[in-house]
């Protein structure tokens, strides 16, 4: 087939190019520019080279100390919520009904927290947890549990984690539910015939069939929790002290609170880079899993007349995903 060559088509791309340039490339370059300089306000800038970056990675300095501490908190937070939300989401998905009107009811109820804007979620929990007027805070204190997320670090952490679990477990559950629904009935029947226990069915059928959606769930939840800002900021404001100050909160403090544009720019570049790298790792893992899946998804009978050839492994990348 002959392709029509028409260089004028570039004019159609130009608007997008301009928009991207103004909305992404130029701001990013500005940030790179700032990250190399120091400013004392008044629009005066002084060259600082890679100074901020060196400071950022050196825990003995103020900037490095704050950055690394908040990064540590952020990673810990992500690990904790993944460890809770993924198993919990699986359990919720497994216990959801498979048919009837209850399915729709469950889906709607599960989707509700996902539809609430972040700062509203924060506000809800901020009030919910208050010892004086919040339902949760008041009840806990009335029961004799000394709970106050404003003054106690552990209480603050628990509140932030429970809030995130409340907000996002639904996402994991919905993804897992979709994965579960795609398992053909024959697998369950075969497992029944094979005398498999509930646990064996989960291990041999459900978990392997869910592994792809679980990877997506883990990726989404990790990314989101690693970039979390609004909810903890609204609830605890990063406190008490710095105990719930995550990287994004620290970044806003430096950039807008102290107006240290250079430091903030350096920090945001490193922050961005970390997210990109993690994204890339996940992407690679997922694509590899995808390739393996395509290979195994061979369900079409392959014409192989000789019996000796009947067991040959399938050549990679057969199209068409089937029942297998």
Give the residues lining the site for another protein (CB under 8 A): 184, 186-187, 189-190, 192-197, 200, 203-205, 208-209, 292, 295-296, 298-305, 307, 310-314, 322-324
Give the residue with the Cβ less far from another protein, 87 or 208: 208
Task: Look at the block and give the residue holding tokens 């995903």.
Answer: 321
The distance of closest approach from Cβ of residue 203 to another protein in the complex, given in angstroms and rounded to an integer, is 8
- Burial class of residue 190 (count of CB atoms within 10 Å of its CB; 0-12, 13-18, 19+): middle
Residues 120/166, Cβ–Cβ less than 8 Å: no
Give the residue with the Cβ less far from another protein, 117 or 195: 195
The distance of closest approach from Cβ of residue 99 to another protein in the complex, given in angstroms and rounded to an integer, is 14
Give the residue with the Cβ less far from another protein, 93 or 205: 205
Number of H helices, E strands in the chain: 14, 2
DSSP letters, 180-221, are HHTS-HHHHHHHHHTT--HHHHIIIIIHHHHHHHHHHHHHHH
Tell me which DSSP letter residue 131 carries. Answer: T
Give the residue with the Cβ less far from another protein, 49 or 315: 315
The distance of closest approach from Cβ of residue 312 to another protein in the complex, given in angstroms and rounded to an integer, is 7
Give the residue with the Cβ less far from another protein, 106 or 205: 205
The distance of closest approach from Cβ of residue 100 to another protein in the complex, given in angstroms and rounded to an integer, is 16
The distance of closest approach from Cβ of residue 198 to another protein in the complex, given in angstroms and rounded to an integer, is 11
The distance of closest approach from Cβ of residue 284 to another protein in the complex, given in angstroms and rounded to an integer, is 21
Give the residue with the Cβ less far from another protein, 12 or 310: 310
Give the residue with the Cβ less far from another protein, 219 or 314: 314
The distance of closest approach from Cβ of residue 293 to another protein in the complex, given in angstroms and rounded to an integer, is 9
The two tokens of residue 7 are: 């260089």
The distance of closest approach from Cβ of residue 301 to another protein in the complex, given in angstroms and rounded to an integer, is 5
DSSP letters, 114-125, are HHS-HHHHHHHH
Give the residue with the Cβ less far from another protein, 21 or 289: 289
* Residues 265-268: contacts with CB under 8 Å, at least 24 apart: 265/31, 265/32, 265/33, 265/34, 265/35, 265/52, 266/35, 266/52, 266/53, 266/55, 266/56, 267/52, 267/56, 267/63, 267/67, 268/31
Q: How far is CA 217 from CA 85, 178, 185, 240, in A?
A: 10, 12, 24, 31
CA 221 to chain centre: 3
Report the sign of the C-alpha dihedral through residues 79, 82, 87, 92, in that order: positive
């Amino acid at each position: 087939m002959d392709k029509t060559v028409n260089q004028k088509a570039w004019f159609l791309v130009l608007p997008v190019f301009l928009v991207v340039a103004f909305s992404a490339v130029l701001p990013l370059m500005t940030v790179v520019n700032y990250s190399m300089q120091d400013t004392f306000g008044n629009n005066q800038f002084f060259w600082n080279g890679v100074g901020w970056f060196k400071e950022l990675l050196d825990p003995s300095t103020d900037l490095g100390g704050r950055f690394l501490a908040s990064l540590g908190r952020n990673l810990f937070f992500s690990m904790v919520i993944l460890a809770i939300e993924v198993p919990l989401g699986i359990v919720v998905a497994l216990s959801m009904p498979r048919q009837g009107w209850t399915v729709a009811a469950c889906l709607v109820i599960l989707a509700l927290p996902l539809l609430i804007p972040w700062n509203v979620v924060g506000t809800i929990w901020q009030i919910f947890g208050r010892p004086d007027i919040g339902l949760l805070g008041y009840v806990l204190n009335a029961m004799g549990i000394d709970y106050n997320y404003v003054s106690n670090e552990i209480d603050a952490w628990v509140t932030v984690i429970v809030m995130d679990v409340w907000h996002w477990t639904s996402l994991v559950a919905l993804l897992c539910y979709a994965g579960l629904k795609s398992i053909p009935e024959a697998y369950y029947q075969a497992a029944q015939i094979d005398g498999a226990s509930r646990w064996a069915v989960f291990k041999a059928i459900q978990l392997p069939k869910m592994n792809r959606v679980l990877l997506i769930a883990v990726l989404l939840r990790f990314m989101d929790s690693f970039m979390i800002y609004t909810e903890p900021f609204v609830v605890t404001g990063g406190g008490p002290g710095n105990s719930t100050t995550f990287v994004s909160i620290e970044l806003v403090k430096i950039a807008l609170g102290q107006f240290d544009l250079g430091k903030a720019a350096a920090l945001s570049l490193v922050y961005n880079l970390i997210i990109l790298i993690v994204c890339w790792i996940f992407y690679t893992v997922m694509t590899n899993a995808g390739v393996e899946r395509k290979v195994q998804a061979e369900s079409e009978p392959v014409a192989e007349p000789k019996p000796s050839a009947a067991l040959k492994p399938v050549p990679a990348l057969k199209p068409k995903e089937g029942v297998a």
